[in-house]
Amino acid sequence: MSQRGGGADASGDLARAQERFARRQRLVRWRAWLPWAIGGFLLLAGGITVWLFYFSSALAVTGVRVTGAETVPTATVTQVADAPLGTPLAKVDLNAIAGRVRTIPAVADAQVTRAWPHQLVIVVTERVPVVVVTDGSSYELVDATGVSFRSVPERPEGLPEALVVGSRRDVTIRSVVTVSAALPAGLRSEVRSISASSPDSITLNLPSGVRVVWGSSDDSARKAEVLSVLMRRDAKVYDVSAPDLPVTKGEKK
């Protein structure tokens, strides 16, 4: 009986040993195949992602949202943007769209972003007029960079009017803008008009026939400081064309 019992125990130990060996073998094989399985899964997932974002219509452009446009019609921005509706959103050239929108004269800048899953967002920065330029027959709104971006039939309120004549008109306009930007807000609101026949002969016309001879746009910030002090005197003409040697004329005693 003891021999048979001993044989049974030995047989059981062998079976358990074989089972443990088989488990180890399966674990070894699984560990060997695991990197391949993970790699295959990642490759499949990557392929599906690429197809979904770049070739499928599931994430295609269906609309455009425009923000920041106040004076420029939204319809104009959308039309000029010419967004490729139906194209996968990930494939859209955002810089190309922004570049087209920037060709609108009244637009200073434009940024385009993706709004997943189906929209493009165009953020418009409009030009802000700082002076209205006239040649005596029409009015042009000009921004701080000297760009004329819109013609209007009547002079708008709250902007200095610049009568610009002469052959170097573009350069003169930029000089006028530099001068206007350098003026303190309170003084700028008092300026009825700015006369300039050249970049070096700029004159500010104030109420009651008071004039400020500015000269060129050079040292405009310094000239504005000097003028603020000089205007404490009651005069008809303030000449700051040479800011270190300012002059007044028609001063009341």
Distance CA 132, CA 141 (A): 5
Amino acid 187: pLDDT: 85
First to last CA, the chain: 143
Strands 202-205 and 161-164: unpaired
Token pair belonging to 78:
């959308």
Length of the chain: 253
Amino acid 72: pLDDT: 95
Which of 133, 127, 134, 130 is closest to 103 using CA atoms? 127
Specify the DSSP class assigned to residue 52. I
pTM for the model stands at 0.70
Specify the DSSP class assigned to residue 51. I
Q: Output the DSSP codes for 110-179.
A: EEEEEETTTEEEEEEEE--EEEEEESSS-EEEEETTS-EEEEESSPPTTS-EEEE-SS-HHHHHHHHHHH
Which of 159, 196, 201 is closest to 181 using CA atoms? 159
State the angle between helix axes of 220-230 and 169-182 in degrees (0 to 180), rounded to the nearest 10: 50
Amino acid 73: pLDDT: 96
Residue pair 33/26 in contact (Cβ under 8 Å)? The answer is: no
pLDDT along the chain (253 residues), means of 10: 56 68 67 69 68 74 95 96 93 96 97 94 95 84 91 84 83 90 84 90 92 94 93 93 93 72
Specify the DSSP class assigned to residue 135. S
Distance CA 204, CA 190 (A): 10
Q: How many CB atoms lie within 10 A of CB 180?
A: 22
Residue pair 231/238 in contact (Cβ under 8 Å)? The answer is: yes
Q: Please list the residues that pair with 210 across neighbouring strands.
A: none
